[in-house]
Structure 1
Amino acid sequence: MARTLTVVFGSGKEYDFTIGTDELAAVTEDAAWRWFDREYSELGCQASSPVGKVLVIDKILNVAKFSGEARFSGDPAWAQDYARHAARLLDRDKVRVDVGNAAIGF
């Protein structure tokens, strides 16, 4: 079953992605974790928890936030990778990543 992921920025701009069954099956959970770990590190994201524990939702939100809207609009291949890996980790039919409000809804 295809998954839908929407990334929303504070400007009201939304980016919608559909991840097909074959595309989702091509990404393992471990590969998705590694992708977000790498992006999180390369972007210099900071843990929001005082003990340094970073939850999957924190990584997904922070990678979108620190990448910025310009990357989603200017690099569609990267944006599709983001959506594919987030969809694998969250494993829900519909996901809304609201960067401006720091929330993920299902």
Structure 2
Amino acid sequence: MTYHIIVSFAKDRAYEFKSASGEVSVTTQEEARRWLDKEFADLKCEITSPTGKILIIDKLLAVARTVGESRFSQENEWARQYARNVALTLGRDLVRVDVEHMRLGY
């Protein structure tokens, strides 16, 4: 299986990351969630939620928004790791992280 993660900052500014299942399976879903939690905390991401709950989807979007487009456009190891952890956390082989509209698509 190939995992395909697209991080989009605008209609014409999308960055695609593909990983084979062997690359993704070196990490567990729990480790992927911990990585995202750590990035969320280290980046001091903020989410205003009327209920006070922060969902994993909120964290995925906030981390992408906070690091910004330049980190993804460089297609560096951090961006590839983000994409792998998104795939593992959500358990999906195709995910679109729409930063502009702050939503995820499958």
TM-score range, shorter chain: over 0.9
- TM-score, normalising length: structure 2: 0.92
Question: Structure 1: where are the runs of 5+ without partners?
Answer: none
> Match for residue 52 of structure 1?
52
Residue pair 2:47, 2:54 contacting (<8 A) in 1 also:
yes
Q: Give percent identity, aligned residues only.
A: 42
> Match for residue 39 of structure 2?
39
Letter in 1 for 2:90: L
Runs of 4+ with deviation above 6 angstroms: none
Residue pair 1:6, 1:17 contacting (<8 A) in 2 also:
yes
Instruction: Measure how far apart 1:92 and its partner are.
Output: 1.2
Question: Structure 2: where are the runs of 5+ without partners?
Answer: none
Distance (Å, rounded) in 1 between the aligned partners of 2:50 and 2:72? 29
Distance (Å, rounded) in 1 between the aligned partners of 2:72 and 2:34? 20
> Match for residue 91 of structure 2?
91
> Match for residue 5 of structure 1?
5
> Match for residue 81 of structure 2?
81
Structure 1 vs Structure 2 CA RMSD: 1.3
Letter in 2 for 1:94: L
Residue pair 2:2, 2:21 contacting (<8 A) in 1 also:
yes
How many matched pairs?
106
> Match for residue 27 of structure 1?
27
Q: Is 43-52 or 56-65 further displaced after alignment? A: 43-52
Distance (Å, rounded) in 2 between the aligned partners of 1:91 and 1:30? 11
The structure with the largest strand share of the pair is: 2
Residue pair 1:47, 1:53 contacting (<8 A) in 2 also:
no
- TM-score, normalising length: structure 1: 0.92
